[in-house]
A = this chain, B = another copy of it.
Amino acid sequence: MASMDDVFARYEKRLAVLEKSNNPFTKGIAWVEGELVPLAEARIPLKDQGFMHSDLTYDVPSVWDGRFFRLDDHMTRLEVSCAKMRMKLPLPREEVKDILVDMVAKSGIKDAFVELIITRGLKGVRGHTPGEEFKNNLYMFIEPYVWVMDPDVQRTGGSAVVARTVRRIPPGAVDPTVKNLQWGDLTRGLFEAADRGATYPFLTDGDANLTEGSGFNVLLVKDGIIYTPDRGVLHGVTRKSVFDVARAWGIEGGKLGPITKKIWDGYWALHYDPKYSFEISYAVVNGTLSNGTGKAAQGILQNGAATLG
Residues of B contacting A175 in the complex (Cβ-Cβ under 8 angstroms): 184
Q: Which single residue of chain B is at the shortest CB-CB distance from A197?
A: B130
Bound complex: CA A20 to CA B139 (Å): 36
Residues of B within 8 A of A206 (CB): 170, 172-173
Given A43-B44, A44-B44, A184–B191 Cβ distance below 8 Å? Answer: no
Give every chain B residue within 8 A of A185 (Cβ-Cβ).
173-174
Q: Which single member of B45, B170, B183, B187 contacts A43 (CB below 8 Å)? A: B45
Tell me, in angstroms, the Cα distance from A175 to B187 when the chains sit together.
Answer: 12
| A32 on the B face (CB < 8 A) | yes
A125-B187 in contact (CB<8A): yes
Could you mark each residue 75-100 of chain A with 1 if its beta carbon is under 8 Å from any beta carbon of chain B, else 0? 00000000000100000000000000
Q: Hey, what's the 0/1 contact readout for A34-52 against B, CB within 8 Å counting as 1? A: 0000011011111110111
**CA A188 – CA B178 in complex, angstroms?**
12
Query: Is there an interface contact between A173 and B168, defined as CB atoms closer than 8 Å?
Result: yes
Q: Please, which residues of chain B bring their CB within 8 A of the CB of A191?
A: 86, 125
Docked pose: A43 CA to B174 CA in angstroms: 27
Partner among B141, B166, B187, B215 whose Cβ is within 8 Å of the Cβ of A55 = B187
Q: How many residues of A contact B (CB 8 A)?
A: 48
With a CB–CB cut-off of 8 A, which chain B residues contact A45? 40, 42-43
Residues in B whose Cβ lies below 8 Å from that of A215: 126
CB closest chain-B residue, reference A37? B46
Contacts of A166 in B (CB 8 A): 172-173
- Chain copies in the assembly? 2
Contact of A54 among B48, B54, B190, B214 (CB under 8 A): B54
Residues of chain B with a CB closer than 8 A to A172's CB = 166-167, 206
Nearest B-chain residue to A51, judged by Cβ = B51
Q: B51 contacts A47, CB within 8 Å? A: no
Q: Is the CB of A51 within 8 A of B44?
A: yes
Q: How far is the CA of A143 from the CA of B188 in the complex (A)?
A: 32
Whether A194 is near chain B, meaning CB under 8 Å from some CB there, is yes
Instruction: Determine if B190 and A184 form an interchain contact, defined as CB atoms under 8 angstroms apart.
Output: no
Interface 0/1 of A101-133, CB less than 8 Å to B? 000000000000000000000000110101000
19 new A-B contacts, CB < 8 A, other than A128-B190, A173-B173, are: A42-B45, A42-B46, A42-B47, A43-B43, A43-B44, A43-B46, A44-B44, A48-B51, A51-B181, A52-B181, A54-B184, A55-B183, A125-B190, A125-B191, A166-B172, A167-B173, A169-B170, A170-B170, A175-B184
